[in-house]
Amino acid sequence: MADLLLGQVLSFVGDPFVDGPAAARHIADGAVLVSAGKIVAVGEAAALRAAHPQARRHDYGRALISAGFIDAHAHYPQTAIIASWGKRLIDWLNHYTFPEEMRFSDPAYAAKIAGRYLDLVTAQGTTTVASYCTIHPGSVEAFFAAARSRGMRAYAGKTCMDRNAPAGLCDTAQSAYDESKALIAKWHGTDRLSYVITPRFSPTSTPGQLQALGALWAEYPDCLMQTHLCEQPDEIAWVHALFPQARDYLDTYESTGLLREGAVFGHAIHLTPRERARLIEAGASLVHCPTSNTFIGSGLFDMGLATQVRVGLATDTGGGSSFSMLRTMAAAYEVAQLRHQSLHPAQLWWLATVGSARALRAESQIGNIAPGLEADLVVVDLASTPAIEQATRRAETLWQALFPTIMMGDDRAIRSVWLGGKPSVRA
Ligand code: GUN
Ligand code: ZN
């Protein structure tokens, strides 16, 4: 039986970084018809009610129905160490992250954290995640199994490292290749799951490992490849010391077959002019992780890139300090303000939905409300707390009504979540 969701509906017919807020389509008394996991129709409530009298109705009143949020870069194994105090990137990895990731040699622990993580993010309105796992193939198995049982579209890969990490967290060029390949064979394209080839970042891979993963990517060109790029100045200096032949940080990936469309680079803050030009030319994707960039002290991403490359938005938990894409939109706004760029609410919402879908090359499946797309939806209460409610009372436009929720909203604003056409949270 079909389901008819009634409320305000927000979708996008263009790119707000190109077309401005007119890229958004807002239907104040709207409806979304869902059947067999897909969006079948979107339009005026009165028309869809009349055309589909049999459909099961879900009346969300003045709440806003949107595509679910897409977190384009996260580390689910860092769930338990989110909000760890006082370190910058390299020390943070050594002090907090690597010891926690060692625990994922235990498949039971991996399964426990994968379930906990997906429950936490679903409650925040996130319907798809691209996650790093750990070195252990079992960490990927746990994540995919948990996503599959929830009906989620999910992206993940074994995080490969063969140097500059504890022995218990190191593989080799060959085992990284072999284990990643076996995981691709088992999981890539199964249900709603996609494998992502995942070298952690150049400091923890030898050139030989990067080359092996570049060769693997050439064998499976429709996989994505995800890694980190130009996050902190100390990290970049370390890359120069480890790869003396490389022209720059990006060249360590470019020279090993890891730069082309489908490459998804987290952070990309401190880019040289050559790196910017090559990323644009190659059609790569960048993922902005603003709560991480302020929490670990990395720097201010240049959102001017959004008109030149695919840019997605992400929490980067646990380097990021929140599981919430609303909080992440707020941080993106704040970071842009510090660069004298004021992001419009349409741009923030687009980044967390269509933008992230495009960064993962999944825009024909998820990230928007349009017939034929998968029915991953979030229903957002625009008056979820007294502070937000009072700030919206004089709102005359959708954007004035929505911006206080972007800046101050949390999981209390998430009224309902639909995954693959099925209600997941508080339907
Ligand atoms: N660079 C390499 N690994 C990581 C990680 O786990 N988190 C962040 N923020 N940056 C990284
Ligand atoms: Zn990361």
Residues 234 and 130 in one domain: yes
What CATH number is given to the structural domain containing 77?
3.20.20.140
| Ligand of minimum distance to the alpha carbon of 92 | 1
**Which atom of ligand 1 has the smallest separation from the CA of 289?**
9
| Ligand of minimum distance to the alpha carbon of 320 | 1
- Helix axis angle, 137-150 to 173-187, nearest 10°: 20
Residues 331 and 405 in one domain: no
pLDDT (tens place) for every residue of the chain, 427 residues total: 899 999 999 999 999 999 999 999 999 999 999 999 999 999 999 999 999 999 999 999 999 999 999 999 999 999 999 999 999 999 999 999 999 999 999 999 999 999 999 999 999 999 999 999 999 999 999 999 999 999 999 999 999 999 999 999 999 999 999 999 999 999 999 999 999 999 999 999 999 999 999 999 999 999 999 999 999 999 999 999 999 999 999 999 999 999 999 999 999 999 999 999 999 999 999 999 999 999 999 999 999 999 999 999 999 999 999 999 999 999 999 999 999 999 999 999 999 999 999 999 999 999 999 999 999 999 999 999 999 999 999 999 999 999 999 999 999 999 999 999 999 965 4
CA distances from 197 to 177, 222, 373 (A): 9, 11, 25
Residues 287 and 343 in one domain: yes
The reported pLDDT for the residue numbered 174 is: 98
Please report, as a single letter, which amino acid is at residue 156: A
Residues 187 and 204 in one domain: yes
* Sequence-distant (≥ 6) Cβ neighbours of residue 34 within 8 angstroms: 2, 3, 4, 5, 40, 375, 377, 418, 421
100-122 in b/e form (b: 16+ CB < 10 A) is bbbbbeeeebbbbbbbebbebbb
Distance, in Å, from the CA atom of 403 to the CA atom of 410, rounded to the nearest integer, reads: 13
- Å from CA of 96 to ligand 1 middle: 11
CB under 5 Å of ion ligand 2: residues: 266, 316
Closest residue (by CA) to atom 7 of ligand 1?
319
- Å from CA of 97 to ligand 1 middle: 9
Residues 64 and 119 in one domain: no
Residues 28 and 160 in one domain: no
Residues 193 and 270 in one domain: yes
Contact 322, 88 (CB under 8 A): no
Last residue of a domain, one of 332, 359, 386: 359
Residue 290 near ligand 1, beta carbon < 6 Å: no
What CATH number is given to the structural domain containing 397?
2.30.40.10
Contact 46, 29 (CB under 8 A): yes
Encoded tokens for 337: 């303000």
CA distances from 238 to 32, 164, 234, 241 (A): 51, 11, 6, 5
How does DSSP assign 40-56, residue by residue? EEEEEHHHHHHH-TTSE
Encoded tokens for 54: 């049999």
237-247 in b/e form (b: 16+ CB < 10 A) is ebbeebbeebe
- Å from CA of 320 to ligand 1 middle: 10
Residues 64 and 83 in one domain: no
Residues 318 and 373 in one domain: no
Closest residue (by CA) to atom 3 of ligand 1?
200
Last residue of a domain, one of 341, 359, 377: 359
- If one residue of 75, 198, 293 were mutated to test the ligand 1 pocket, choosing by the most ligand atoms within 8 A of its CB, it would be 75
**Which atom of ligand 1 has the smallest separation from the CA of 296?**
9
Residues 41 and 107 in one domain: no
**Which atom of ligand 1 has the smallest separation from the CA of 298?**
9
The reported pLDDT for the residue numbered 40 is: 98
Q: How many domains does the chain have?
A: 2
Residues 50 and 94 in one domain: no
What are the two backbone dihedrals, phi and then psi, of residue 283, each rounded to the nearest 5 degrees?
Answer: 75, 30
**Which atom of ligand 1 has the smallest separation from the CA of 201?**
2
- If one residue of 200, 227, 230 were mutated to test the ligand 1 pocket, choosing by the most ligand atoms within 8 A of its CB, it would be 200
The reported pLDDT for the residue numbered 427 is: 44
Encoded tokens for 40: 């079948």
Q: How many other C-beta atoms lie within 10 A of the C-beta of residue 27?
A: 18
- If one residue of 87, 163, 231 were mutated to test the ligand 1 pocket, choosing by the most ligand atoms within 8 A of its CB, it would be 231
Residues 336 and 412 in one domain: no
Last residue of a domain, one of 338, 359, 380: 359
- Å from CA of 13 to ligand 2 middle: 30
Structural domain of 389: 3-68+368-423
Distance, in Å, from the CA atom of 87 to the CA atom of 60, rounded to the nearest integer, reads: 43
Q: Give the H or E element holding residue 336.
A: helix 325-338
Q: How many other C-beta atoms lie within 10 A of the C-beta of residue 341?
A: 15
